[in-house]
A and B are shown apart, each in its own frame.
Chain A
Amino acid sequence: MQEIVIKTEQLTKRFGDFTAVDGISFSVGAGEIFGFLGANGAGKTTAMRMLCGLSAPSSGAATIAGFDIYTGTEGIKRNIGYMSQKFSLYEDLTVLENIRLFGGIYGLRDRQIKDKSEELIGSLGMGREAKKLVGSLPLGWKQKLAFSVAILHTPRIVFLDEPTGGVDPVTRRQFWDLIYAAAASGITIFVTTHYMDEAEYCGRVSMMVDGVIKALDTPSQLKQQFAAGSMDEVFFELARNSKRKADQA
């Protein structure tokens, strides 16, 4: 039996009269690549923010890496990594300085930070850029670096909020290589994306429509279930019944 690292039950978030996330229940196992899909405004960003401890749920229950979402936020924070759709390293710091900063924030020791920096820069092939400002790097490199920094402290789970937005297909492919490598080392990947080809890369995929999870299975099972040739069609089949306007949440 695989260890469960994310488990939610009837997790709900309301903003006034508006229910952004309406009682979602699912669980994710260790080392899994879990795709969290949905149209704009379906509520996936809100759901993800709750799971990261950025936003308190209105009702329901969840445990992340064994910590309760209401009482264990400090424990959750130590055991997750996060990378958001906006690029989120400091542009006016160099590559090395960014690594050192985030290592320091997660309480790594100087020795560890030094080893990790060398390893990371080596594996990304950024030897010559190590002392350059992050702002001067191309977007694709920044994204890869941001991902590597997000898993610097070897978290149990890493949350990726549309990590490949605006990146060319080749770099996206390389980015997914990084994700596979991280998953192989036992880190659970929780990823939202708009690209349906990326959905195919995931172990399991959930489809969120109007704050509710409408479907959750492996990509091949989903295609079978909806008699669709691609994830694109599955998504379209589910999303077209959406009552929410895309810009509502």
Chain B
Amino acid sequence: MKQFLTFVRKEFYHVFRDRKTLLILFGLPVAQILLFGFALTNEIRNARIAVFDEARDEASAAIISKIRAGKNFEVDRILSSYRQIEASFREGKVKLVVVFPRNFREDLLHRNKAQVQVLADASDPNTASTLTGYINSILLDYQQSLSPAAAMPYRIVTQTRMLYNPELKGATNFVPGVMALVLMLVCVLMTSVSIVREKENGTMEILLVSPINPFLVIISKAIPYFLLSLVNLAVILVLSVSLLDMPLNGSLLLLLAESSLFIITALALGLLISNTTASQQSAMLIALMGMLIPTMMLTGFMFPLENMPLPLQLISNIVPSKWYYIIVKSIMIKGLGFSAIWKETLVLLGMTAFLLLVSLKKFRIRLQ
């Protein structure tokens, strides 16, 4: 036991004396959260648009003021001729133009049918369709406020409610993904590099010649990174709840327990990599290429898994972060309990057991 504590202390010295490691450990999560939370969001704010109002009546004015009031649009200019529409698109500043034809209000009130033309710059198709969606909902809103008691005999009223994320915030999608990404990266990268470093420096031989149990060497390496990952997790959670308005609807305890499990999975993966590589560079390369890319691509937070070809969907099942991502979303956003995520937990447990078994077995083989 005393051997073990001496060893854990040594590992902490290693971590805290290596400034670069520390920077990665604590800088990376903060940078990622801020980057993903603020820069990479799929909601659009303050898009510049132009309005060509031929009607100049109460109705068009009301709609324009509604558009101005929202946070999605900023009316950049009021146009006075059709020609100007194309000119303003060419300039590139304006993403969308709304055209109210003459007699807009008349048509609306007396013929019960009025037209609004929406022109969007579809050189970026996603932005274009998101923006037209925003405009449509503003128009619909206005229409309903106009005739609360439906005049038409037959009408289908769609009542759409965005469950769990009524404001359609991007952060709710990204934060669980970033949690998976950061924990994966920190744990896998750090453990694999730290073990391989001992091999490179020749200190691993000294340890193997000494009476210390090799398993203790490995476990004591994992402990500092486990604790630091918990600190990281806390930082991520505090940042995302306070800065990004991420909800935490479920049990915090359950979230911590599941995260600990995921951290152990990642540590086991790091051990495996370190046992199969001989240099720090190759360990780092495998950890980065082998973890970062599958985690980004196949976890589901950047690209929906449902849209992928079947082979990729199948491969995504062996990516641990996919399961952790589902778990975090279920707990934080949907507020579900353990009964809803026991399957995913079981998968992670199975992966962890498998990885630990393989890497310890490999480590058992004496150095050749």
Interface residues of A (CB under 8 A from B): 15, 49, 52-56, 74, 77-78, 80, 82-93, 97, 100-102, 104-107, 133, 159
Contacts and interface: CB of A to CB of B under 8 A. Distances in A.
A88 B206 contact: yes
A233 B210 CA distance: 37
Contact of A54 (B17, B201, B203, B205): B205
23 contacts: A15-B368, A49-B367, A52-B209, A53-B209, A54-B205, A54-B209, A54-B367, A77-B209, A80-B209, A82-B210, A86-B205, A87-B202, A88-B202, A90-B10, A93-B13, A97-B13, A100-B6, A102-B210, A104-B2, A105-B210, A105-B212, A107-B2, A107-B3
Interface in B351-368: 366-368
Contacts of B13: 90, 92-93, 97
B18 interface: yes
Interface string B169-209: 00000000000000000000000000000000111011111
Contacts of B14: 90, 92
Nearest to B212: A105
A77 B201 contact: no
A41 B258 CA distance: 52
Nearest to B204: A88
A214 B211 CA distance: 33
B7 interface: yes
Nearest to A113: B6
B3 A88 contact: no
A89 B198 CA distance: 10
A190 to B, nearest CB: 13
Contacts of A104: 2-3, 5-7
Interface of B: 2-3, 5-7, 10, 13-14, 17-18, 201-203, 205-212, 366-368
A83 B209 CA distance: 10
A80 to B, nearest CB: 7
A91 B201 contact: yes
B210 A88 contact: no
A100 B7 CA distance: 10
B211 A84 contact: no
Given A52-B209, A53-B209, 10 more contacts: A54-B366, A74-B211, A82-B210, A86-B205, A90-B13, A97-B13, A105-B210, A105-B212, A106-B211, A107-B2
Contacts of B202: 84-88
B211 A77 contact: yes
Nearest to B368: A55
B6 A105 contact: yes
Contact of B210 (A77, A97, A159): A77
Nearest to A49: B367
Nearest to A100: B6
B6 A54 contact: no
A223 to B, nearest CB: 34
A105 B7 contact: yes
Nearest to A98: B10
Nearest first, the 7 A-B pairs at minimum CB distance are A104-B6, A86-B202, A82-B209, A77-B211, A88-B202, A92-B17, A88-B206
Contacts of B201: 86-88, 90-91
Contacts of B209: 52-54, 77, 80, 82, 159
A107 B205 CA distance: 18
Contacts of A100: 6
B225 to A, nearest CB: 16
A12 B368 CA distance: 15
Kindly name the residue among B3, B5, B6, B209 whose own CB sees the greatest number of chain A CB atoms within 10 A: B209
A133 B13 CA distance: 11
Nearest to B216: A105
Contacts of A87: 201-202
A78 B366 contact: no
Contacts of A78: 211
Contact of A105 (B3, B18, B205, B367): B3
B226 to A, nearest CB: 21
Contacts of A97: 10, 13
A90 B202 CA distance: 10
B210 A93 contact: no
A15 B368 CA distance: 10
Contacts of B2: 104, 107
Given A52-B209, A77-B211, A92 B18 contact: yes
